[in-house]
A and B are shown apart, each in its own frame.
Chain A
């Protein structure tokens, strides 16, 4: 029997395989269900950490700079992510504001903080304190982080409003776009590699 570090389970059909070392552009596929088991990840721990820091900065941008500003005949309005949450909270369904706040602000922020925490220790090939808790939370938070959804919603709004109003995408929207792409890259499933550390 191999050690758990050398085995991998297909997440779709629970078939167990031995881990393989992959080169660029390679991936392993489950023979039973055809699901992807492993994908080559070109990022070192250090790169991930750097990208996490970048993502943190972008998160700040997205939250403190207007995502977009609209203007109509001199009537002007602009909103940051936090403004949109506030707007929802003043609406009829305050609960929605909480969901939005969790999915587009709080969840990504926690993800990033945990990533930085874990990766910072992984840089020296150590497990961080409360490593297990952090890793579990990272898994738990992933479905709650809906930056892509928010980005898509914002883009749709920009395009739909463009005909009626003057819509000006702000720095926040750009940051949001880059942030959501980065999150996919750094907070994906590959994070499980960290379990291999002693």
Chain B
């Protein structure tokens, strides 16, 4: 068998057969593929698996394990795997397995709520859940912290995070008929809605959170005024009857309207979450800002019939406030029942006067003590409060703050809070008082004595008159008869044919002639002045013949 022993090729013998210990048949690909498919499915499932979170709800109504879905924008992002009571049995914990893509829903401020059919004044929502069963709505948060446990909301949030727009907070005295979902109108177009409300921290007002959708949120400026547009505004004025309302739905569910005042220079867009005051009505909202309120106390000694809470307070005819309280008081010293009237005034309503005053006096509007001092100086100048009749028919009163320079000086207490303004009686009362004093004076007159004196005088007068009649009158009659005679004789003297009158006429004729001859003499002398010395020449003209004969 050695190759060196012979040159023949070796006889072919059987090659050793080696059997593979583990033969690998191609058929094994089939189970391997099946396993691979299975593995890929499992891995895919594991990859798809997102975080598990727990939601706490008040009730488990509508929640079913493995059935209730969690949806965002109506896309399923997870499902409830377990519904169980909490340890203290006060809540229901729903364990939710979120999808991988929904990982961001574990942000701390994400919101979850149960979507079920709801019928409200604002409309019907969640009607599809009537058939499909309730599901859990989710809203993605923005916080960077992640949590595993959430408190489910009882009501769906009105606005979800992705919505472009702005939130604002309105402060008001009471909520009125507003509710979550109440519309917000701008020029009667609904542009937003109320999303939340809560009492403020002191419980003295309500903070209403509203949301204005983009792009209309740009119309909310720093000067914008909001007012409650709920209900119906009925105005009866000199021009007749006017009825105003925003829309029918705002009557039912309330509403808020806003607008900036017409004269509105240097306005800027409001920032997110800016706070505004919510006024009761449009007139109040668009009026100049009232500014800081100043509470004052008045004390009237007369009855205040017709003065109601809410009655206006006027300063020199400008309405600057209103009455907030009318209370009866008892004065131990005088044993009388004065009326305490509380009023609130808004100095800013004085407009330019207020601005100028602040500038001139360098007064800080927030400094209460100096404000009281300022009022004190006004009172020294005669500032008084007076209840005046605003309406003679109904007897409605209003409070007028006015300067009465002649008013009595009153001691002013600058430390009293609220500041007390002295009062003077109203004009009608003043009139009454004056009449009263007049009547008093009249009462004090010694009428009896005067009457007695007068009576005596009259008696004497009568006596005098009788005397006069008896004695003086006959004398007078005689005198009169004599006077009559005198007048008669005078009359006869002056008669046409009386000798005295004849003589008078002759005398007058004589006088006339005399004056003529005097004139001739004067003429003659004028022509012949020498005749004064030489005498009249013989050849005197015939003219002279008329003159009296001479020589």
Contact = CB atoms under 8 A, between A and B. Distances in A.
A and B assemble together: yes
Interface of A: 44, 46-47, 50-51, 53-54, 56-58, 60-61, 65, 72-77, 171
Given A50-B25, A57-B38, A72-B131, 14 more contacts: A44-B27, A46-B27, A47-B25, A47-B27, A50-B30, A50-B31, A51-B30, A51-B31, A54-B31, A56-B31, A57-B35, A73-B128, A74-B132, A76-B69
Given A72-B131, A74-B131, A74-B132, A50 B27 contact: yes
- The range of chain B's interface size is 10 to 19
A76 B69 CA distance: 10
A54 B29 CA distance: 9
B241 interface: no
A57 B132 contact: no
Contacts of A51: 27, 30-31
A61 B39 CA distance: 10
Contacts of A61: 37-38, 41
A32 to B, nearest CB: 37
A163 B1 CA distance: 84
B402 to A, nearest CB: 73
Interface of B: 23, 25, 27-28, 30-31, 33-35, 37-38, 41, 67, 69, 128-129, 131-133
Nearest to A73: B131
B128 A54 contact: no
B38 A46 contact: no
Most B Cβ at <10 Å: residue of A51, A57, A65: A57
Contacts of A56: 31
A61 B45 CA distance: 13
Contacts of A72: 131
Ranked 4 nearest A-B pairs via Cβ: A74-B132, A53-B31, A57-B34, A54-B31
A74 B133 CA distance: 8
A65 B133 CA distance: 23
B31 A57 contact: yes
A51 B31 CA distance: 6
A107 to B, nearest CB: 20
Main secondary structure of the interface of A (DSSP, over half): helix
Contacts of B35: 53, 57
B41 A65 contact: yes
A46 B133 contact: no
19 contacts: A44-B25, A46-B28, A50-B25, A51-B30, A53-B31, A53-B35, A54-B33, A56-B31, A57-B35, A57-B38, A61-B41, A65-B41, A73-B131, A73-B132, A74-B128, A74-B131, A75-B132, A76-B69, A76-B132
Nearest to B23: A46
A102 to B, nearest CB: 24
A56 B41 CA distance: 16
Contacts of B33: 54
A65 B41 CA distance: 10
Contacts of B128: 73-74
Contacts of B28: 46, 50
Nearest to B129: A74
A96 B217 CA distance: 65
Contacts of A54: 30-31, 33-34
B136 to A, nearest CB: 14
A46 B31 contact: no
B150 to A, nearest CB: 24
A50 B26 CA distance: 9
Contacts of A50: 25, 27-28, 30-31
A81 to B, nearest CB: 16
A46 B41 contact: no
Nearest to A75: B132
A58 B30 CA distance: 11
B81 to A, nearest CB: 14
B77 to A, nearest CB: 15
A171 B34 contact: no
A85 to B, nearest CB: 16
B38 to A, nearest CB: 5
